[in-house]
Amino acid sequence: MGGTNMKQRLTYIDIARAIGILFVVLGHINQFYRDSQGIECSQILIFIYTFHMPLFFILSGILFSEKTFRNLSFFDFLIKKVKGLVVPYLFLDITAGLYGTVVSSEIQISSILEVVKNTLTIHCNVGANWFISALFIGEIFLYFFLKYYRSIYKYFVWIPFLIIPRYYPFSTHWINVFVRGVIAFTFMLVGYYLKDYYKNDVNKQWDVIVLSVVLTYIIAMLNGQIDFWGSRVGNPILCLIGGLIGAYWVIGLSKNIKSKLLVFIGQNTMTMMGTHMIVFGIVWNLCSITFFNIMPLLTANLYGEILIFILIIAANLPIMYVYDRYLPFLIGKRR
């Protein structure tokens, strides 16, 4: 996501991003329904969380160019990432926080300052925005690793990720933020090294896709619920394999799809990541006074989840269009 020039992006990468963000939205809806019904574990949620965040980090690694660390000084690289990731993070998270302040009728200086504080300290006014900060940290790690690479490093670079479960849960917020960056870096590094493997058209074969989906599901059930926001990876080996295979079939599936709508969504995943939780709240409240009054069972079944999902995506499309058309510099895009 972010400041990548859209003209240089492969269509299937955009579609893969779109599939990824749709799973993010679906996962958050399913989690809400699960929590409202007191269900501890949801197989759907466990399955989605196994690959949807690894997918984004792997795609970022695939797109990470050698020119980035060979030709750019760290200062130039940092400026590029500030424009592509930090500015969108500040814009999306602060506007979301201010929206929450307005609808709660708590428009006070202290409330506004609290919004800004949450953003600057990466506590995030919208929980999903943790991803942007993790991507930023992960890309900085990846830059330095590749810039000053020595062959011996490959034997040690995996250790931080592998020892995460030993120290989980982490005692402070900032350690957790750092660990998210480590997780992002690990999957990005894999994406960088395996980019030819993912670009190969073997993964677009339907039998390979189906087999990969089944393997992802099996690994998900073996590893259980993971949550990168809280730096919970379960078994790190299973987490890594599940993410790799999950990204493999999503990218393969994307190569078989032609959809201008998905390309548009994929090119604007940053916006949907930062706004879909707000839209979710609005859609839920509207449904509560319309559909749910007529059919209360929709608040606790699959049909209700599907309805909410469709409405959230539909409502997000004009937001993405406006941001893309009129505010590209605030969502990490160049014109």
Look at residue 105 and tell me whether its pLDDT is greater than 80: no
pLDDT-wise least confident of 30-44, 52-66, 123-137, 159-173: 30-44
In a domain, residue 17? The reply is yes
pTM to 2 decimal places: 0.93
What was the pLDDT predicted at 236? Answer: 96
pLDDT interval class at 335 (50, 70, 90) = low
CA separation for the pair 28, 44 (Å, rounded): 11
In a domain, residue 304? The reply is yes
The residue ranking higher by pLDDT, 290 or 209, is 209
Q: Tokens for 209? A: 């896709």
Look at residue 331 and tell me whether its pLDDT is greater than 60: yes
pLDDT interval class at 68 (50, 70, 90) = confident
What was the pLDDT predicted at 5? Answer: 43
What was the pLDDT predicted at 322? Answer: 97
pLDDT-wise least confident of 69-73, 126-130, 268-272, 305-309: 69-73
Determine the average pLDDT of the residues in 193-207: 90
What was the pLDDT predicted at 34? Answer: 81
How confident is the model over 141-180, as pLDDT tens digits? Answer: 999 999 888 777 877 898 999 999 888 888 799 999 999 9
Cis ω on the peptide bond leading into residue 165 (within 30° of 0)? Answer: no
What was the pLDDT predicted at 9? Answer: 52
8 A C-beta contact, residue 335 and residue 328: yes
In a domain, residue 119? The reply is yes
In a domain, residue 335? The reply is no
Residue 87 sits in which domain range? 6-330
Q: State the DSSP string of 227-267.
A: BGGGTB-SSHHHHHHHHHHHHHHHHHHHHT---HHHHHHHT
In a domain, residue 164? The reply is yes
- Name the maximum alpha-carbon separation found in the chain: 64
The torsion region of residue 234 among left (phi > 0), alpha (psi -120 to 50) and beta comes to: left
How confident is the model over 210-250, as pLDDT tens digits? Answer: 999 999 999 999 999 999 999 999 999 999 999 999 999 99
Indicate the number of domains in the chain. 1
N- to C-terminal Cα separation, the chain: 15
Q: Nearest to residue 172, comparing CAs of 180, 163, 183?
A: 180
Q: What is the DSSP letter of 296?
A: G
Look at residue 46 and tell me whether its pLDDT is greater than 90: yes
How confident is the prediction for the chain on average, in pLDDT? 90
In a domain, residue 1? The reply is no
In a domain, residue 157? The reply is yes
Determine the average pLDDT of the residues in 114-119: 97
What was the pLDDT predicted at 48? Answer: 96
CA separation for the pair 283, 311 (Å, rounded): 7
What was the pLDDT predicted at 3? Answer: 46
Determine the average pLDDT of the residues in 276-304: 82
CA separation for the pair 95, 75 (Å, rounded): 28
How confident is the model over 309-328, as pLDDT tens digits? Answer: 999 999 999 999 999 999 99
Alpha helices in 107-172 (DSSP H): 109-120, 130-147, 159-162, 164-167
Look at residue 18 and tell me whether its pLDDT is greater than 60: yes
In a domain, residue 101? The reply is yes
Q: What is the DSSP letter of 125?
A: S
